[in-house]
Amino acid sequence: MKDRLAFSTNAFSNENYTVDQAIEIIGECGYSGVEILFDKPHVWPLDLDGARIAELKSVVKSTGMAISNINGNTASGFYGDRNAPPGQTFGPGFSCTNEEFREWGIDPSAYRVDYTKRCIDAAQQLGARNVSVSSGFVGPGQDAARQWGQAVECFKDCTEYAGKAGLHLIIEYEPEMLIGSAVDCMKMIETVGSEWLGVNYDIGHSYVVPGEDVFEAIEILGDRIIGTHVEDIAGPTPALHIDPGHLIPGDGNMPLREIFEKLESTGYKGYYTVELYTYARPGKDPMYAVTESYKRLMELAPE
């Protein structure tokens, strides 16, 4: 495990750091992998061209790291100065309905499919092996069954596209999302029926899913776990996007060592990617987060 530690650039997603600087800092700290955020302010896939992809590839290569994941979970840069519909702050998603986005004249699920395919194109050119995605939320008053059917078609389309590129599309689930549990994840995977659809297992998300046990979840997901997100949580609590969510490993009360041991015992061979986007916020220090996380994980990693 110690040679498969990675860190996400989203801890540096503020006006103080470019994505290139974030990649270089992460490499200097000793990580073997880096996850690149594909959302503003770091990389906006709709603006990417060949020259910029070549620059990113060169920066990653100079650090000696591999890309652990392309994080396409959010497309919140779509909004700019506009207010998102209630419950849709991640950007237009697979589960979003036309009614919610009528004022902007877009089909939200089609927008997100295009967005995801652009992430896949860039990932292939960068040499990444997987792209993480989220389902989107069930909006207030929305028909969850209708949204599920719509999301199935989106996942089928994007998974087929990823498979042709030789990449895995990996679902990151979260409470209150359409895909909000390990059981939901497996239901979608079985419905889509493709070997190229897997899971980005965020251990903190699993920890706070009502009624979900992280060890049982790992058993349920099995070899469909292609990537992970690692953080600590002082909980369990559903408050993932505010403190005390997404803490440096060791600052919460999750049984991290035991979770790592469970993942290793199932044959997991992917990266352990620390995701601490909360440290991009005012008053937080991403430099401390990246260095301290590496130190803590080296101590927590099973031999």
DSSP code per residue over 140-158: TT--HHHHHHHHHHHHHHH
pLDDT tens digit string along 39-68? 999 999 999 999 999 999 999 999 999 999
Nearest CA among 101, 98, 90 for reference residue 150? 98
Which neighbouring-strand residues pair with 137?
A: 177
Q: How confident is the model at residue 36 (pLDDT cuts 50, 70, 90)?
A: very high
CA 158, CA 55: separation in Å to the nearest integer?
Answer: 26
pTM: 0.96
Domains and CATH numbers, the chain: 5-300 (3.20.20.150)
pLDDT tens digit string along 221-260? 999 999 999 999 987 555 454 445 789 999 999 999 999 9
Left, alpha or beta for 127 (phi > 0: left; psi -120 to 50: alpha)?
left
pLDDT tens digit string along 250-295? 999 999 999 999 999 999 999 999 999 999 999 999 999 999 999 9
